[in-house]
Amino acid sequence: MNFGGKVALITGATSGIGEVTATLLARHGAHVLVSGRDQQRGNRVVETIRAAGGSADFLSAALVDAQGCRALAAAASEIAGRVDILINNAAVGTFGRTEKIAETDFDYCYAVNVKAPFYLVGALAPAMAARGDGVIVNVSTMVASFGTAGSAVYASSKAALNHLTKCWAAEYGPRGVRVNAVAPGPTLTDNAVAQFGEDGLAQMMSHAPARRAAAPHEIASAIAFLASDEARFVHGAILPADGGRSAS
Ligand SMILES: NC(=O)c1ccc[n+]([C@@H]2O[C@H](COP(=O)([O-])OP(=O)(O)OC[C@H]3O[C@@H](n4cnc5c(N)ncnc54)[C@H](OP(=O)(O)O)[C@@H]3O)[C@@H](O)[C@H]2O)c1
């Protein structure tokens, strides 16, 4: 993989899968725009990338509405001139029994997981299409493709993102912009471990071929593949990176 000369904007890059993806793309030559709300964690990611010889900047953004997305797109274009690769990774999980879900939690989950990618793509894809070159990778989840109790809000928001992936592939692909998604299984990020426990994440995979949860770098490498020219004939795909859980 060679991302030399490319500018990659990665949302939710202040921790977890996004942070590891930012580090990986930077190691392969991308100028990485690390985005999130937490300035301190964002700066730490940037410093780590620079200390390893990579190139990165932090762009603070709270992604819940069109205005915040447009502001991030404008800031990215201002600091780096353009965005070649957009990784829509920031997300929140809302879990629980359907009758217990507060309307505010439903709205917030859909705002971060669906509305924000929608308006970021609207803000950045036209310039990619005008240049005839660009890549978008959406980070989904395995539970968008099968039913699990307690995941209705989160899983359906990611199912919407899966379908947006296909719509955008149809809309922008003919003008040189590839749009795909990675659908991870349970992954050992700090936040996921804090929420479900290592045993809880492993339990979700007890019948999957891999019989274990993923390490964050195993998801980042799938994202990087789709972002790279190695995937140049791949459009509109939802790539499961779930140890085979959704296949069995
Ligand atoms: N970990 C898993 O088991 C798993 C499984 C399947 C799919 N996924 C998907 O993989 C992606 C990354 O997951 P993860 O476990 O690495 O998550 P994580 O560590 O919780 O990171 C989430 C990131 O999103 C950012 N974020 C959250 N709300 C935001 C908002 N309103 N505006 C801007 N940024 C916001 C956070 O940054 P700040 O705190 O700085 O704002 C953080 O960098 C998500 O799309 C998730 O749905 C994860």
Beta bridge partners of 134: 177
The candidate with the shortest Cα–Cα distance to 111, out of 49, 169, 170, 66, is: 66
Residue 227 has pLDDT above 90, yes or no: yes
Q: Which tokens is 14 given? A: 């202040």
CB-CB neighbours of 67 under 10 Å: 9
Active-site hit among 108, 110, 119, 154: 154
In a domain, 220, yes or no: yes
Per the structure block, which two tokens stand in for 235?
């459009």
Residues 200-210 have a mean pLDDT of 96
Residue 248 covered by a domain: no
pLDDT tens string 81-117: 999 999 999 999 999 999 999 999 999 999 999 999 9
Q: Is 110 a catalytic residue?
A: no
Q: Give the position, in ligand 1's atom list, of the atom nearest the Cα of 17.
A: 16
The whole-angstrom separation of Cα 148 and Cα 136 is 28
* CATH label of the domain that carries residue 81: 3.40.50.720
Please report which residue ranges of the chain form alpha helices under DSSP H: 16-27, 39-51, 66-80, 103-110, 116-131, 152-172, 190-196, 198-204, 216-227
Q: Is residue 73 part of a domain?
A: yes
The pLDDT tens digits of the residues spanning 58-72 come to 999 999 999 999 999
Please state the domain count of the chain: 1
Q: Let me know if residue 135 belongs to a domain.
A: yes
Instruction: Return the HEC string of 161-219.
Output: HHHHHHHHHHHHHHHCEEEEEEEECCECCHHHHHHHCHHHHHHHCCCCCCCCCECHHHH
Q: With 90 as the cut, is the pLDDT of residue 220 above it?
A: yes
User: Residue of the nearest CA to atom 20 in ligand 1?
Assistant: 191
The pTM for the full model equals 0.98
Q: Which of 9, 10, 14, 95 to mutate to test the pocket of ligand 1 (most atoms within 8 A of CB)?
A: 14
Instruction: Give the ligand 1 atom nearest the CA of 88.
Output: 45
- Work out the number of other CB atoms within 10 angstroms of the CB of residue 95: 18
pLDDT digits (tens, 9 = 90+) for 182-199: 999 999 999 999 999 999
Assigned domain for 63 exists: yes
Closest CA to 182 of 232, 245, 239: 239
Residue numbers of the domain that contains 219: 7-240
Length of the chain: 248
Which residue out of 15, 45, 108, 143 has the highest number of ligand 1 atoms within 8 Å of its CB and is therefore the one to mutate? 15
| Ligand 1 environment, Cβ below 6 A | 11-12, 14-18, 36-38, 41, 61-64, 89-92, 112, 139, 141, 184, 186-187, 189, 191-192
Note whether residue 207 is domain-resident: yes
Contact present, 64 and 112 (Cβ < 8 Å): yes
Is 144 inside a domain boundary? yes
Q: What is the pLDDT of residue 248?
A: 84
Average pLDDT of the residues in 201-215: 97
Question: Strands 55-60 and 31-36: what pairing?
Answer: parallel
- Is 247 a domain residue? no
